[in-house]
A and B are shown apart, each in its own frame.
Chain A
């Protein structure tokens, strides 16, 4: 057995305060591609950058297939390789012995990260639990794997985790099988399983998509409460802007494997800068507005004017958009995604732009926001179009 990490006391992890000014996870220029048989490789993720701080919720938004899940799964090496491959980039994670690049971890190293330091919740609560084991067995297995505890202690921890996620009579419920639980309860079990080992980072891959709205609200509220008490950083992958407005601190909008916009939630909702983000917001129908036909994303992005409104547009900073011809003054770097840069176009607001001469001259810092909505103020969700 590997030597036990020092932060295990009596089987429970001592809750060590994390330095909230230091990022937990910094993804730098991540690129992942997949083998496509006889055809060329498919670039699923191409130069993604993002940063996650303790006690912060980073929402990753985008349409299906834009690389949200692949980004998250790459961090834990859950992308099957082959056919997948990490082309470039780093994912610096604050382990107990300093920052280390997750992508270079060997299988046995990443296994100690999985579930223990970084946990993941999947989209489908209906199929994410093994049908042949009881709920208790499945939670206890994770606890026994990562913590030096006896089975009896693991049972207590598992029951505690179930109680944390609001399941009544946890000791009794631990003997039940997944098919006896409703969808919402199963998702709670998944969360309990993910949180039983007190991870630093939780990757929540559309945790509420399969649930109805009331359960959705409960689960998200639960995640927020647990996040506050444990200083956990959450990467919330979703395509539901309502969920984003309610829960996120920082939002990262992705399209075609690249980040197109990155800002805190109030700034992004008040002042979306990339035409695609604007299209996303405009396509949400608004209460009290009579329309014959809803606005679509293409209504916004097909308008060439939409691409000339960035700060610095006069210097030649243009939003990156894969369907457009590249600008004439493009100065691409070597390698793939060299025609693109995630530029801080105004303080604390990043937009994916073409790597034109103007961008090359004024390269900005990578996206890095330690912003969190303060816990004590009652939060009013941001409303699209108001500052």
Chain B
């Protein structure tokens, strides 16, 4: 027998149990979730969905560093262009949620990916817990700061905020409230380590509170100061904040450039209007493109002059073309009716969309799983009573409730958090019913009896042993629920009832038709596509997940 023949025979042969016990052909076991996940990522559509959600999540975290009207670096110029000092306005103006999201994303990815003894599921749980705490910090501090900073705030409140100790005390209280639950985290067995974790969390959240509270008011004046030669600034990739309004720049087409108001006044005329030499000279004179540092301005002016001065007369369109060519496209997606950059809004709105979807669904799943588990496990009167509550909540139309809430709530409560809470608190019934049915099936299973016989506490029996065996339909349902929540937010914003001063895809869409009475295509295409793709992505992921964990579908396919 030749060697190659022997080789093919060994390859074709299945291994026996004896060989396995000798270590031949042994494969590591895969858990249920690993197996399901590997099936999900085998589907191209689900992978495409995941990639898109990843892109949206990336911009949700990093949007403030990609699109901001504040300079990344600001150099104060003295007489003769000497740099006298450097400041970083963008970092100084980051909000609590910006900082926490950035820290959480960077630290969280490391925390999950770095190999360690602690199992990955436990680390995921800890991260979820941390995110939960961070969310509470942000909500608490924004409520506290908002209530005190309100224009019609009560006198005692205003007096209290003015008192010297108030901010310190409030920040310390919020930090303590956020940090103390970490002491009960079962992950950390040693007391010393626990103390360290609590301290770190308290310090981080305290700092975040403090920086939010003492945030400087919004002021976008760096371009004017740059034009005046006071500073020289370096901007981010997209040098506009989503809430940076310029009424003279409203409804610009995608790719339009930014120039000084005087030039804009000239080139804003009819495209076929012919400009004479004096007007062209005026344009050349005022090419004060603030994107270019003052030192480079003469070069730019020279370039524009070289192209324009050869012409005795030029149409507005020609002048505009030359200016655009040399100043670069500023508003890549154009501006809306308030003169805000569309691309910047698109990126910043990622955060709103994805957080509305995730947070409200998380709230719904948490409530639904807890109540559903109790209904399914205890049965009897508990089930009877709680199921009536489920029926009551099922009868509430969530969208109309949101609309009514938007109309009735005072403006400081019309925040994103309230919308998330309302969606979460009124859509948990699906999760509760799924979990109830699963727990009724599971509670008679032997491994549940066995877990009780070992002496495990009820919490562990319910949520450690029964829940992972019954949570799969809820997870599938949740991925569809995320899509629905995103749609809810878009609908609300489209109706003008969304959270005020928040970049949102739905608000952009509504701007495409409402405010000026005419349809503006460039305001509709980008946000429409984003909403469509995001909802589609979550639906595709949900479908792949459902097929991966449903054994009946698996059998039919293979």
Contacts and interface: CB of A to CB of B under 8 A. Distances in A.
Contact of A127 (B31, B447, B453, B460): B447
A128 B32 contact: no
A113 interface: yes
A129 interface: yes
Contacts of A177: 29, 31
Interface string A86-108: 00000000000000000000010
A190 B453 CA distance: 11
A175 B450 CA distance: 20
A313 interface: no
A124 B448 CA distance: 12
A82 interface: yes
Interface residues of B, number: 26
B247 interface: no
B20 to A, nearest CB: 10
Contacts of B453: 76, 78, 114-115, 119-120, 122
A111 interface: yes
A132 B31 contact: yes
A65 interface: no
Contacts of A127: 445-447
A145 B465 CA distance: 14
A301 B197 CA distance: 72
A78 B452 contact: yes
B149 interface: no
Given A122-B446, A127-B446, A128-B450, A175 B455 contact: no
A209 B464 CA distance: 29
A309 interface: no
B115 to A, nearest CB: 16
A78 B454 contact: no
Contacts of A76: 452-453
Contact of A142 (B32, B189, B455): B455
Given A131-B32, A175-B29, A145 B450 contact: no
Given A130-B469, A141-B456, A150-B189, A122 B29 contact: no
A82 B383 CA distance: 14
Interface string B461-483: 00011001100000000000000
B447 A78 contact: no
Given A168-B21, A177-B29, A129 B450 contact: yes
B449 interface: yes
Given A78-B449, A127-B446, A129-B447, A111 B31 contact: no
Contacts of A134: 29, 31
Contacts of B446: 122-124, 127-128
Contacts of B456: 111, 115, 141-142, 145
Contacts of B454: 114-115, 119, 141-142, 145, 193
A116 interface: yes
B457 interface: yes
B475 to A, nearest CB: 13
B81 to A, nearest CB: 64
Interface of B: 21, 28-29, 31-33, 189, 380, 445-447, 449-458, 460, 464-465, 468-469
Given A112-B455, A128-B446, 14 more contacts: A111-B456, A111-B457, A113-B455, A114-B452, A115-B453, A122-B446, A127-B445, A128-B450, A129-B447, A141-B464, A145-B454, A175-B28, A177-B29, A180-B29
